Amino acid sequence: MQKTILITGATDGIGLETARTQVAQWHNVLLHGRNPAKLEQVKNELAALAGGGQVEGFLAACRKSPRSRPSHRRLPSATGSSMC
């Protein structure tokens, strides 16, 4: 069953590895990160995986960055941690 999964802190470390695993398993992944350049790089890397699910990126809503809201109303799965 394909899921839509929000992963915070998805631009490096455990969050990035989790995102790779979930995309490779055909899940749709919503990436959440603080650095716009890293977020775009990771999004492009994951979108290029063979047999992967869909990938979208969302910039963290910190004081110095504009708020971003995923368009997904229902997220059955979420993982990770993101600090501003």
Can you give the CATH number for the domain in which 63 is found? 3.40.50.720
Nearest to 79 by CA among 23, 29, 26: 29
Over residues 1-55, the pLDDT tens digits come to 889 999 999 999 999 999 999 999 999 999 999 999 999 999 999 999 866 789 9
- Is the sign of the CA dihedral 49, 28, 30, 10 positive or negative? negative
What local confidence, expressed as pLDDT, does residue 71 receive? Answer: 55
pLDDT surpasses 80 at 76: no
Element (H, E) at 16: helix 13-24
What local confidence, expressed as pLDDT, does residue 66 receive? Answer: 47
Range 57-75 average pLDDT: 62
pLDDT surpasses 90 at 84: no
What local confidence, expressed as pLDDT, does residue 73 receive? Answer: 57
Number of domains the chain contains: 1
Instruction: Print the domain residue range for 45.
Output: 4-80
Confidence of residue 65 (pLDDT cuts 50, 70, 90): very low
Q: 37 phi and psi, to 5 degrees?
A: -70, -45
